[in-house]
Structure 1
Amino acid sequence: MQADGPALVILPPPDESSQRTIKRSRVLSYVLVALAAVVFSLRPDLFGDPQAQPWHALLHVWRIVLGIVLALAALGVQVLVGVQWRRGLRQTGEAPGNRTPADR
């Protein structure tokens, strides 16, 4: 008996241009994650005395929002580069296992 699960598809390694793009996207993602960590680690007293500044709470909210946006941007960069690379494989026909049976 044979299982009707998805077939295992092995992707070819990226070419030199794709490797450079992947490396740059990883560096950009690391920088974005590092910036998010710095933003998240800002101490509350850095913004001043909360009793003297009514905007103190708003600064905390923006710190959290900015950190989340930077972390999501890092994830978005990786997803975008991965999608573009897979789309390139489909267009060049390097990975026939990734095409649907109707496209073969």
Structure 2
Amino acid sequence: MILPPPDESSQRTIKRSRVLSYVLVAVAAVMLSLRPELLGDPQAQPWHALLHVWRIVVGLLLGVAALAVQVIVGVRWRQGLRKSADD
């Protein structure tokens, strides 16, 4: 099956979704690369380990969100193609 190129509206949506995904991945990379010293001294602050866990969880969730944006836009675009082919 050969897919036709997206129309102008779809191209804008795809471009915006890519930009959003890149931003989410960049923020996730920043979250995952934070140095432990930035969160304070682990000996003086017992909640230090919890901050590290949340940093990792937030970073991974942002990465999954970037992937989800691309999947959702792709699925909607293909559904639009199917609807226009049925008409």
TM-score range normalised by the length of the shorter chain: over 0.9
| Partner of residue 50, structure 1 | 42
The residue type paired with residue 62 of structure 1 is W
Paired residue secondary structure (1:93):
helix
- Among 27, 40, 57, which residue is 2:19 paired with? 27
Q: Considering only aligned residues, what root-mean-square deviation do their CA atoms show, in Å?
A: 0.9
Gaps of 5+ in 2: none
**Residue 75 (structure 1) aligned with residue 63 (structure 2):** no
CA distance, structure 2, for counterparts of residue 48 and residue 21 of structure 1: 41
Aligned residues: 86
Runs of 4+ in structure 1 displaced over 6 angstroms? none
Which ranges of structure 1 fall in alignment gaps of 5 or more residues?
Answer: 1-8, 95-104
Identity of aligned residues (%): 78
CA shift for structure 1 position 21: 0.1
TM-score normalised by length of structure 2: 0.97
Supply the distance in 2 between the matched residues of 1:47 and 1:85 (Cα, whole angstroms).
42
Shift of 1:75: 0.1
Which one has a bigger Cα radius of gyration? 1
1:68 alignment partner AA = L
- 1:42-70 CA-to-partner distances (Å, cap 9, x unmatched) read 00010111000010000000000000000
Look up the match of 1:60.
52
Match of 1:86 among 71, 78, 82: 78
